[in-house]
Amino acid sequence: MQKGGFVYILTNKTRTVLYIGVTSNLRARLWEHEHHETPGSFTDKYNVTFLIYYEWFDTINSAIEREKQLKGWVRKKKEQLIAQKNPDWKVFNEEISKEIYSLLY
C-alpha cells in the first residue's frame, strides 16, 4: 500500500523567496525546516520556514508530479495559486497539526 503525500510552499519573513517541496509527513518536514535540520540547504540559507500553501494527494507519486508542475511555473502563477487558497498569505505553522489531523481523519 502506497502512502499519500503533500506538496507545500514555504516562504521567508519578507515573502521574497518561495520554496516548493513534497513529503509524506508535512508536520515532521515543517519541523525540520523550522529547526534548520539540514545546514546549508536552500531553506536554511534563505530562512524559508513559513508554510503558506499545501495540497494533499492520495499517492506520493501524484504529489511528486504536482511538485514538478509547480516548480515549472513562473512566480506570478505560483502567487496566484497561493492567493486562491490563502489570499492573505497567512502562515499555517501554528495550526498545521490540527489541519492535517482533520484532513486525514
Per-residue model confidence as pLDDT tens digits over 28-38: 999 899 999 99
Q: What is the pTM of this model?
A: 0.89
pLDDT of residue 3: 86
**pLDDT score at 2:** 67
CA distance linking residue 1 with residue 15, whole number of Å: 38
CA distance readout (Å), 54 to 1, 33, 39: 23, 15, 24
Looking at residue 16, its amino acid is T
pLDDT in tens, 41-96: 999 999 999 999 999 999 999 999 999 999 999 999 999 999 999 999 999 998 88
What distance in Å separates the CA atoms of residue 36 and residue 30, rounded to the nearest whole number? 10
Phi and psi, residue 52, nearest 5°: -120, -10
Domains in the chain with CATH codes: 5-104 (3.40.1440.10)
